Amino acid sequence: MAWTRFVAGRLLALVLTVLVGSVVVFLVMKSAPGDPAVAALGESARPELVAVFRAKHNLDVAWPLQYGRWLSGVVQGDFGLSLTVASDRKISSLIAARLPNTIFIGLMALSIAVVLSLIAGTIAALRRGKLGDTIATSLAALGISMPDFWLSYVLILVFALGLGLFPAYGFIAPGQSMSGALYSGFLPALAVSAPLAAVFARTLRTALLEAGNKDYVVAARSFGFRPAYIFVHWVFRNALIPYITIIGLQIRYILGGVVVIERIFGVSGIGSLMVDGAFARDYPVVQACAVVFLVIVLSVNLVVDVICSLLDPKRAR
């Protein structure tokens, strides 16, 4: 019973947060300077054409009414039509075409970050204070402090233009070719994953060191268990809980990274759609993307909370 109430409460909070978030995004977009009519019709647009455009797209009524019309559409699963980035096309189909690409790059980045951090964090903990630790922790510091767009250009310069191993631009959708998507998505995913891998690795290192100093580990050593056995059974397993928690907390930053990376690598995803929409004052597109992002982040948080409460039942109370 406590379980259903916990999840239901979180779902309600999710819906309310999305509502509040969409109002905030709506107001921010409205208060930003610029006019979608000018973006769509060009600087030399005649006033009468601007008026026609504004009437057609509901831009000539008061903002609460605009928001109300938009919301009633969203409730019915209709995000409306794009104004300026793909005029008169359904936003829901734009998102449907692009969301899989963003999720694919995001999952790929997450996988890369997990693999890299497992290796680096473990090496750093086992070789504490030695060369391996220094290298791993320095790389982690570098990963956290490098801007992702800068890293993107370095990756392009080295792996695409220099060594010719990967394409410098363009992404093949996973629906078209899975191997093509893995190949063309590698550099963008790597760029997104770098700061994540660094944070994950540092957390894992600390958790491993902490777990390694516990009394039961000392006891296990005194019993004469092999170090590898001790590491796997007592140190690593216990270090996994903070490690998984930090992964859950950091997933939201993948979306932030994807927004920048998609434009640089030409990934046709929802992040680049949102950036284009913001530049061209395409209010409904930005609104729709924001809602999708909000739902994704909040859902991930919900799932992480559920997993953590399963691992540690004290937290559900």
Stretch that binds other proteins, among 23-31, 86-94, 227-235, 241-249 (CB under 8 A): 86-94
Report CA torsion sign: 306, 310, 311, 312: positive
Please provide the DSSP assignment of 9-52 as one string. Answer: HHHHHHHHHHHHHHHHHHHHHHHSS--HHHHHH-TT--HHHHHH
Contact between 264 and other proteins (CB under 8 A)? yes
* Residues 112, 170: Cα–Cα separation, whole Å: 20
Binding-site member from 21, 73, 180, 242 for other proteins (CB under 8 A): 180
Contact between 272 and other proteins (CB under 8 A)? yes
* Residues 149, 195: Cα–Cα separation, whole Å: 12
Contact between 6 and other proteins (CB under 8 A)? no
Binding-site member from 29, 81, 86, 199 for other proteins (CB under 8 A): 86
Whether the CB-CB separation of 233 and 198 falls below 8 Å is answered with no
Contact between 184 and other proteins (CB under 8 A)? yes
* Residues 301, 253: Cα–Cα separation, whole Å: 12
* Residues 304, 247: Cα–Cα separation, whole Å: 9
Whether the CB-CB separation of 37 and 54 falls below 8 Å is answered with yes
Contact between 190 and other proteins (CB under 8 A)? no
Stretch that binds other proteins, among 43-51, 104-112, 228-236, 309-317 (CB under 8 A): 43-51
Contact between 145 and other proteins (CB under 8 A)? no
Stretch that binds other proteins, among 46-54, 104-112, 203-211, 247-255 (CB under 8 A): 46-54
* Residues 78, 72: Cα–Cα separation, whole Å: 8
Contact between 124 and other proteins (CB under 8 A)? no
Binding-site member from 26, 79, 80, 84 for other proteins (CB under 8 A): 84
The CB-of-288 to other proteins minimum distance in angstroms stands at 14
The CB-of-311 to other proteins minimum distance in angstroms stands at 42
Stretch that binds other proteins, among 8-16, 117-125, 192-200, 260-268 (CB under 8 A): 260-268
Report H helices in 173-311.
Answer: 178-184, 186-212, 215-223, 227-230, 237-265, 270-279, 283-311
Contact between 156 and other proteins (CB under 8 A)? yes
Query: Based on CB atoms, which residue is closest to other proteins, 49 or 144?
Result: 49
Block residue for tokens 């928690």: 245
Q: Which residues bind to other proteins, rule: CB under 8 A? A: 33-35, 38-46, 48-49, 52, 82, 84-89, 94, 97, 156, 160-161, 164, 167-170, 172, 176-177, 180, 183-184, 263-266, 268, 272-273, 275-276, 280
